[in-house]
Structure 1
């Protein structure tokens, strides 16, 4: 029988309560207030580095995150104690948000620079290059437009329309790019488990096969890195937040292992 430890139990309750509030307070955009927005957005607030990790995008999202929390969290809390486990959970969650923000800041700056360059020199070739480099922000219709634009390179309509599409890409990013979920902290828990109990067999849900913790950490870390670097159109998963949780978890555990005389 699964036994919940105090901190894990309280974190589970908080996540469930916040999830309920997200649906009961939709009129005041409660989810938007506590999600983590990119730094350039007017919606960004520093407190979101903490609040985003208690919000979720749907039932499946919170279900899988909470399963990870209740199955692995109690073992770490018993191993470290409640206070140290809570510090670990919060720091890895915030760390995941920090890495996400840094990556998104770099991506947004690159996009802004490319937008400015295109506005200065709009041509069909430059538009096609822009669409290829920032394809994850577009749907397939933009390539139909690029094809028509290439056939009418001097047409003022296509020139002005291409500028609006390019500028709209950046504006849409500012208005719609946010992150939420406990995944960063959960990936941190997984990293900790893999480092502390590397040969423990874990049973996957999909597919239902056993795997050693150390191998699961390597696989999921590799997937997060690959997916983050090759993020495609329609991919709304914050892969670098997952990776950030694992990185901060690794750093914290190595520091604690070198300072065994200090117990938080």
Structure 2
């Protein structure tokens, strides 16, 4: 028989599952929970402080289930081993801090892009407050205020409003922190993908995955709506956290 799932990993799986079920229930009533619990850019009229935490438990809405399935499979696969190795308290810290790291790096990149858009909008003679007011959403993910013709007919204003009205959801930042932690703890463990069933050592597999994330994040393809810099932020925190844990472990021994 397989080993039981460690406590924190199991509880995180349950919480993520409950959030997903709640989003389905509210969606059936016309309410989009991602507006309340997803993480908007901090300068957006839709941002609330609690979203820094709650976005980690939200995932793409039903019927899109691949997002939560992949994250929960990774949480179960890697989280169980990492938690058993570093303990419940450290594992919980790692998960949260990696999630925070994903949020902050993603929005640091957003800040650079949005600042450029704001300058372009002002250069076009449109007030930033006009775009801000036109970006307020209600719980049904509908605009509260009527969009002015100036904003509606300006490509830069539309792009800025889209930044204000698009939330980040998912546990991927935290998950990438776990992936990196696993690779540092067990560098010679062999990993494989369904479409690439050949086992590759974690110390090679995970860096390749990170390079792909960096490449896609920098290229910022229109067809790709994945928050790659959130993944990278989580990975960075995961690496720093587990390296510090190992250093302190050796000191104690």
What's the TM-score bracket when you normalise by the shorter of the two chains? 0.7 to 0.9
| Residue 219 of structure 1: aligned partner | 208
CA distance in 2, matches of 1:209, 1:250: 25
Post-superposition offset of 1:165: 2.8
The reply on whether 1:174 has 2:164 as its aligned counterpart is yes
**Greater Rg, structure 1 or structure 2?**
1
- Select 1:255's aligned residue among 223, 232, 244: 244
Post-superposition offset of 1:262: 8.4
CA distance in 2, matches of 1:3, 1:62: 21
Q: Give ranges in structure 2 of 5+ residues lacking alignment.
A: 127-149
Given the two structures, how large is their TM-score scaled by the length of structure 2?
0.82
CA distance in 2, matches of 1:3, 1:162: 55
Q: Is 227-236 or 13-22 further displaced after alignment?
A: 227-236
- Select 1:49's aligned residue among 28, 49, 52: 52
How do 1:101-180 residues align onto structure 2 when only pairs under 5 Å count?
101-119=107-125, 164-175=154-165, 177-180=166-169
Over the aligned positions, Cα root-mean-square deviation in angstroms equals 2.1
| Residue 18 of structure 1: aligned partner | 19
Number of aligned pairs? 223
Q: Give ranges in structure 1 of 5+ residues lacking alignment.
A: 121-159
| Residue 228 of structure 2: aligned partner | 239
Structure 1 stretches of at least 4 aligned residues deviating more than 4 Å after TM superposition: 160-163
Q: Is the 1:12–1:66 contact (alpha carbons within 8 Å) kept by the matching residues of 2? A: yes
Q: Is 62-71 or 108-117 further displaced after alignment?
A: 108-117
Q: Is the 2:101–2:237 contact (alpha carbons within 8 Å) kept by the matching residues of 1? A: yes
Secondary structure at the aligned position of 1:208 is classed as strand
1:262–1:36 CA distance, 2 compared to 1 (3 A): farther
Post-superposition offset of 1:15: 0.6
Q: Is the 2:151–2:158 contact (alpha carbons within 8 Å) kept by the matching residues of 1? A: no
1:161–1:21 CA distance, 2 compared to 1 (3 A): closer
